[in-house]
């Protein structure tokens, strides 16, 4: 059922520089010279000729529905004309300017972001992505409190550099250990695989908070600078916190003068059907970390929205952190365009409706048909199917740290999706359903129909 398309499958030749565009040369140069992230160096990658909306075309003419939004960043889909035009226009106006100057697009992007972040998070520090934003949020919390420890969840991903990788709880942390001193991990709520043997969401919330309080006490609250949490855990399985959990964390932070850092790199900017995921629970963190959806990754951008109390700390002493490309004009112009599109096209409302009316019911229907689906969870356009060998025992289809042969059933599932024209976002035993927020209901249904067929491959391992 490979999708073919009659439109051109090579990129237009660039006119101001030269780069071969035929698939074979691109793939060969890629294999020989591009050291890819996450172990893909030297691997056979798909060479992409064209992208548009929720679709990619490879250089052989096959069409794929992007159920990944790439790395859950392309919230507005590919090649949105307003995004492209804004970047082109800003490149002609002013392509680069260092962070020490004020420039119209940077001030306006900061103002628009501050207007949308919850509560009084009115100042914005710009970075070039989520990793650096977490690094800098941790630094702000440490200087602000004069403490050094950071508490973060085991099932988390916070980024790829030393500090944010140390804060990351999942197995990708192992290769960089011992990492940054002072990070302590704890178990966050995860009712399907409760670390606390809870039997309901309420019990999970209560016990997870008691566990966090216990960790805090044994580590010494006076040494803890921050609790860093993904509001809704993303890559590690779309774990939506039970009602009351985030407020409980907020209360613990207030009680002990700890900075609450919400990592909304993946969950923010409409992904969860609100501007920010914390808005679902009315909780205002002290630092809110964003990236990805802020401008759909058209130009690298991330940042930290900062509370007045923390911003005040750095009025009397310098913030010893900075980046050459902090608030890059092209990135800021694209953020302004992006926020305009969110407003004009009702993107947040569309994301909410897609989740409630199409993705949620569609995935629950898949669960009824496929024994390999252990749980469906999510909100907005941020969903996961957790795949299991056995629904009763909940044994995962592949282990949480699966590589090589151990990962074979998920690799087979991934191939089955790709052969049918769907790009899935797979991490260990979950497959995420995270298309661009601009995806139509019909496109989502098309993707769900492919998942339906591909899950038969996973069912064979049950």
- Binding residues vs ligand PLP (CB under 6 A): 71, 129-131, 134, 157-159, 230, 234-235, 263, 265-266, 291, 302
Closer to ligand PLP by Cβ: residue 47 or 235: 235
What's the closest the beta carbon of residue 120 comes to ligand PLP, in angstroms? 23
By C-alpha distance, which of 196, 198, 183, 193 is closest to 153? 183
**Pick 129 or 242: Cβ nearer ligand PLP:** 129
Quick one: 140 or 291, whose CB is closer to ligand PLP? 291
Q: From the CB of 130, what's the least distance to ligand PLP, in Å?
A: 2
Minimum distance from CB of 411 to ligand PLP (Å)?
Answer: 21
**Nearest-CB residue for ligand PLP:** 130
Indicate the residue among 77 and 268 with the shorter CB distance to ligand PLP.
268
For residue 289, the minimal CB distance to ligand PLP (Å) is 7
CB of 287 to ligand PLP, least distance (A): 13
CB closer to ligand PLP out of 160 and 371: 160
- Please state the closest distance from residue 91 (CB atom) to ligand PLP, in A: 22
Distance in Å, CB of 272 to ligand PLP, minimum: 12
| For ligand PLP, the closer CB: 157 or 190 | 157
Nearer to ligand PLP, 232 or 450 (CB): 232
């Amino acid at each position: 059922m490979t999708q073919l398309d009659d439109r051109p499958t090579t990129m237009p030749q660039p006119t101001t520089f030269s780069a071969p565009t035929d698939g074979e040369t691109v793939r060969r140069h890629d294999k020989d010279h591009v050291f890819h992230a996450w172990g893909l160096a030297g691997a056979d990658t798909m060479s992409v000729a064209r992208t548009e909306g929720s679709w990619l075309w490879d250089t052989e003419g096959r069409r794929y529905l992007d159920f990944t939004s790439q790395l859950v960043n392309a919230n507005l889909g590919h090649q949105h004309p307003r995004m492209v035009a804004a970047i082109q226009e800003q490149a002609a106006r002013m392509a680069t300017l260092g962070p020490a100057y004020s420039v119209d697009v940077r001030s306006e992007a900061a103002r628009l972001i501050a207007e949308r972040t919850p509560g009084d998070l009115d100042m914005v520090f710009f970075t070039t992505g989520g990793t650096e934003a977490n690094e800098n949020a941790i630094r702000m919390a440490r200087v602000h409190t004069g403490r050094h420890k950071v508490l973060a969840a085991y099932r988390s991903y916070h980024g790829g550099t030393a500090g944010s990788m140390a804060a990351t709880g999942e197995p990708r942390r192992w290769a960089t250990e011992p990492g940054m001193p002072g990070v302590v991990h704890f178990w966050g709520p995860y009712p399907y695989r409760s670390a606390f043997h809870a039997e309901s969401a309420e019990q999970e919330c209560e016990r997870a908070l008691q566990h966090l309080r216990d960790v805090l006490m044994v580590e010494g609250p006076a040494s803890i600078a921050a609790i860093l949490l993904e509001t809704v855990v993303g890559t590690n399985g779309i774990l939506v916190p039970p009602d009351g959990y985030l407020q409980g964390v907020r209360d613990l932070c207030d009680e002990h003068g700890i900075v609450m850092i919400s990592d909304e790199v993946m969950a923010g900017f409409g992904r969860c059907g609100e501007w920010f995921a914390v808005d679902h629970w009315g909780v205002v963190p002290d630092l809110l970390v964003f990236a990805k959806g802020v401008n759909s990754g058209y130009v690298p951008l991330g940042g930290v929205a900062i509370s007045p109390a923390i911003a005040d700390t750095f009025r009397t002493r310098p913030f010893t952190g900075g980046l050459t490309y902090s608030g890059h004009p092209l990135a800021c112009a694209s953020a302004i365009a992006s926020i305009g599109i969110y407003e004009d096209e009702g993107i947040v409302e569309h994301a909410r409706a897609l989740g409630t009316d199409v993705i949620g019911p569609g995935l629950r229907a898949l669960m009824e048909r496929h024994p390999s689906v252990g749980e469906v969870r999510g909100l907005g356009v941020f969903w996961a199917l957790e795949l299991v060998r056995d629904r009763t025992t909940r044994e995962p289809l592949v282990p949480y740290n699966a590589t090589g042969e151990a990962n074979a059933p998920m690799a087979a599932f991934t191939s089955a999706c790709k052969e049918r024209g769907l790009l899935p976002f797979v991490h260990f035993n979950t497959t995420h359903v995270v298309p661009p927020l601009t995806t139509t209901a019909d496109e989502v249904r098309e993707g769900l129909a492919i998942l339906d067929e591909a899950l038969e491959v996973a069912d064979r391992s049950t």
